[in-house]
Amino acid sequence: MSHSSGPGFLQRSVVSSFIFLNAERETKVALFKRSNKVSTYRHCLAPISGYIEQNETPITAAWREIREETSLNSHDVNLWRKGKPYSFSDPSVGRQWTIYPFSFRLVCCDEGGRGGKGIQIDWEHESWGWYNPESIKDDEQFGGVPRLEESLGRVWFEGNMNEGASKALIAGLEQLKADHQSGFNELTLAALRTYQDVITQMQPENSTKWWETARMVVWHLWKNGREDMGSAILNPFLELLAEIQGILHQSLDRGVEWECLQAALSHHIQRQIDMPTRIQNSFAAYVQSKFVPIVQSKPKASLNILTLSASSNIRNSVLDAFAAVPIPDLDLRILESRPLYEGVSMGSSIISAFQNKFPGTSEKHLKMTIYTDASAALASKDVDLVLLGADRISDCGAINNKTGSLPAILSAKHISPNSKLLILTALEKIAGYGVDDDHNQELNDPKRVMDGWLDAGVKGVNIINDSVWNAYTGDNCVIKVNNIFSEWVPAGLVDAYICAEGTLDVSGIEEKAEQVKQNIERNLQYMPFLPGLLDISNV
């Protein structure tokens, strides 16, 4: 995509994808020497780069360029990190560039990929090689394309941080990325604690550089941890960053400044720790006011609830509300939630918590049934409540949650028309400016699904497995296995949002979304990196 801008300049948006090899002792990055057949920067070293085509997202363009220019596919490289985009002008070629940096990890032969042997360059390059990332410089002697070092630094933060801070951030990102069972509160706490660990390792010496790095850490926690929890993680950090900026502007004594920074971090972490209790109290109040009369009018006073996946917030809210109301029986139905079976883990934790909370002599009784995901309609019979969490909430009230949420809700609404869908959530999950309202699906490694089939010895699974691996061989039959972790539920299906502030309807969510937008706008003057963040929903 291009159009004229400025004095004869063309605006061009391009992707720059760095391919990393993580050897046992040394990290290397591949650079490609551009041929004399390309239109710009001939014979310069560069990552895999190319224009973003019309109606194409940056990440889609990155994958396309890698396939075209190296022959590597999704079996050979894994997406590692997304870098913050930036723009600059180059009068020598008459271009205004907007760069979208990405990094990919090469899959070695012993991991199922083709390793470096799979790299087959096309006409755009004349050669390629492995380089130490620390050797890459933005100078004429190195021979790279303009801003090569800067693009690299946006996906390889290790070169811009001390070793302690870098290790803390790497560990935190790996924890977030691997955790597909914890809910919002646990993940946000993990992100905040990672941030505290990183900040503790980088006491400010140069305030300007320190502040730049502190903001970039937030970018990586937002985009390179669990991006499907993006707004939930970003919103608490917006308030924290504004508070940190205020501390830095006071020109305090270095020791006092450091104590204030640590106190701010601790305060935000404690507030996150307290949030589940406030949500649980709101849910108990809702059940007491809305459902006790309904349940007590039944022939058998039982509160029937359907849920799925794993959420300590839902677990504790259900048991606390059950303890607080004069209802003797709790009929809890849980969908197993494949492929990780979080529902089974949820059931186990509920049993333990129930036995601790209600001794055998108690007048409270639990009946818990775990259903297969395909049995959502059967599990919905006579339910009073469908309880879900939310990974994200759009500014119009739609929710993003574990795959299987929408079938469960539709089943309940059809089988038990009087049932209510309640979303137990924190308002921090509400997106501003449509950041998370693109409703894109998060595709994940199909191996997690297929491993279950292989372990169970499903008939014919090897044919499927072989076909998936040959998806890019040019055969006329392409087989895919989609492992989609989350899906969107329309706001029109939601009856109430239960949050720390009380009970809200869709209009309350829309009002809060507007407040989020205003909060971002207020903070723009203090955080100039935010406009870039808000303009890349599809990165």
Summarize pLDDT for 512-523 with one digit per residue, the tens.
888 877 766 665
> Which of 108, 127, 156 is where one domain is finished?
156
- Residue % of the chain over a pLDDT of 70: 89
pLDDT, the chain, mean: 87
Given this model, what pLDDT does residue 230 score?
Answer: 67
User: In a 3-state reduction of DSSP, which class is residue 307?
Assistant: strand
Residue 329: strand pairing partners: 302, 365
By the 8 A CB rule, do 438 and 538 touch? Answer: yes
Contact partners, residue 298, CB within 8 Å, separation at least 6: none
Residue 19: strand pairing partners: 30, 104
By the 8 A CB rule, do 99 and 151 touch? Answer: yes
Contact partners, residue 442, CB within 8 Å, separation at least 6: 227, 228, 484, 485, 486
State whether 309 and 206 are in the same domain: no
Dist CA 26 CA 171 (whole Å): 18
State whether 178 and 231 are in the same domain: yes
By the 8 A CB rule, do 409 and 448 touch? Answer: no
State whether 123 and 99 are in the same domain: yes
Given this model, what pLDDT does residue 126 score?
Answer: 95
Dist CA 99 CA 296 (whole Å): 62
Given this model, what pLDDT does residue 443 score?
Answer: 63
Burial (CB count within 10 angstroms: exposed 0-12, middle 13-18, buried 19+), residue 129: exposed
- Report the number of distinct structural domains present in the chain: 3
Task: Report which of residues 377 and 231 the model is more confident about.
Answer: 377
State whether 282 and 387 are in the same domain: yes
Given this model, what pLDDT does residue 475 score?
Answer: 56
State whether 73 and 117 are in the same domain: yes
> Which of 156, 172, 201 is where one domain is finished?
156
Using the predicted structure, report yes or no on whether residue 29 has a pLDDT greater than 70.
Answer: yes
Any domain includes 365: yes
State whether 111 and 183 are in the same domain: no
Given this model, what pLDDT does residue 251 score?
Answer: 85
Given this model, what pLDDT does residue 90 score?
Answer: 92
Closest CA to 119 of 28, 36, 40: 28
Using the predicted structure, report yes or no on whether residue 420 has a pLDDT greater than 60.
Answer: yes
Using the predicted structure, report yes or no on whether residue 17 has a pLDDT greater than 50.
Answer: yes
Burial (CB count within 10 angstroms: exposed 0-12, middle 13-18, buried 19+), residue 492: exposed
- Strand order in 502-504's β-sheet? 365-371, 329-335, 302-308, 385-388, 420-424, 496-499, 502-504
Token digits for 136?
A: 């890459």
State whether 101 and 226 are in the same domain: no
Q: What is the mean pLDDT of residues 248-271?
A: 91
Any domain includes 256: no
Using the predicted structure, report yes or no on whether residue 23 has a pLDDT greater than 70.
Answer: no
Confidence of residue 344 (pLDDT cuts 50, 70, 90): very high
Provide the CB-side half-sphere exposure for 386 (13 A, CA): 31
State whether 36 and 140 are in the same domain: yes
Range of the domain at 119: 10-156
The torsion of the CA quartet 348, 350, 355, 356, rounded to 10 degrees, works out to: 110
Contact partners, residue 275, CB within 8 Å, separation at least 6: 185, 426, 500
Residue pLDDT, tens place only, 138-167 = 998 999 999 999 999 999 999 989 999 999
> Which of 114, 130, 156 is where one domain is finished?
156
State whether 147 and 173 are in the same domain: no
b/e map of 27-59 (b: 16 or more CB within 10 Å)? ebbbbbbbeeebebbeebbbbbbbebeeebbbb
Any domain includes 479: no
Given this model, what pLDDT does residue 226 score?
Answer: 81
Dist CA 135 CA 149 (whole Å): 9
Closest CA to 276 of 183, 367, 342: 183
Confidence of residue 2 (pLDDT cuts 50, 70, 90): very low
By the 8 A CB rule, do 124 and 34 touch? Answer: yes
Contact partners, residue 93, CB within 8 Å, separation at least 6: 40, 41
Pairing of strands 2-5, 9-22: antiparallel
Token digits for 444?
A: 């994940």
Any domain includes 296: yes
Question: Scanning the structure block, which residue is given the tokens 């296995």?
Answer: 481
Closest CA to 218 of 204, 245, 238, 197: 238
Given this model, what pLDDT does residue 436 score?
Answer: 41
Contact partners, residue 498, CB within 8 Å, separation at least 6: 279, 282, 283, 286, 317, 422, 423, 424, 425
Any domain includes 438: no
Question: Scanning the structure block, which residue is given the tokens 């809700």?
Answer: 409
Question: Scanning the structure block, which residue is given the tokens 């469960």?
Answer: 408
State whether 129 and 218 are in the same domain: no
Pairing of strands 420-424, 496-499: parallel
Whole-angstrom CA distances from 224 to 60, 99, 278, 361 are 17, 18, 29, 49
Confidence of residue 248 (pLDDT cuts 50, 70, 90): confident
Using the predicted structure, report yes or no on whether residue 270 has a pLDDT greater than 70.
Answer: yes
State whether 133 and 174 are in the same domain: no
Q: How far is CA 478 from the centre of its chain?
A: 29
Residue pLDDT, tens place only, 96-146 = 999 999 999 999 888 888 999 999 999 999 999 999 999 999 998 999 999
Residue pLDDT, tens place only, 391-401 = 889 889 999 99
Lowest mean per-residue pLDDT among 27-36, 86-95, 406-415: 86-95
Given this model, what pLDDT does residue 437 score?
Answer: 41
Q: Which helix (H) or strand (E) holds 272?
A: helix 254-290
Any domain includes 190: yes
Closest CA to 253 of 194, 204, 219, 298: 204
- Whether the pTM exceeds 0.85: the reply is no
Q: What is the mean pLDDT of residues 333-355?
A: 92
Q: What is the mean pLDDT of residues 267-288?
A: 93
Q: What are the phi and psi torsion angles at 399 (to 5°)?
A: -120, 145
Token digits for 315?
A: 């677990």
Using the predicted structure, report yes or no on whether residue 66 has a pLDDT greater than 90.
Answer: yes
Any domain includes 520: no
State whether 297 and 377 are in the same domain: yes
By the 8 A CB rule, do 394 and 478 touch? Answer: no
Any domain includes 457: no
User: In a 3-state reduction of DSSP, which class is residue 429?
Assistant: helix
Whole-angstrom CA distances from 70 to 198, 255, 295, 523 are 36, 52, 63, 42
Dist CA 216 CA 200 (whole Å): 15
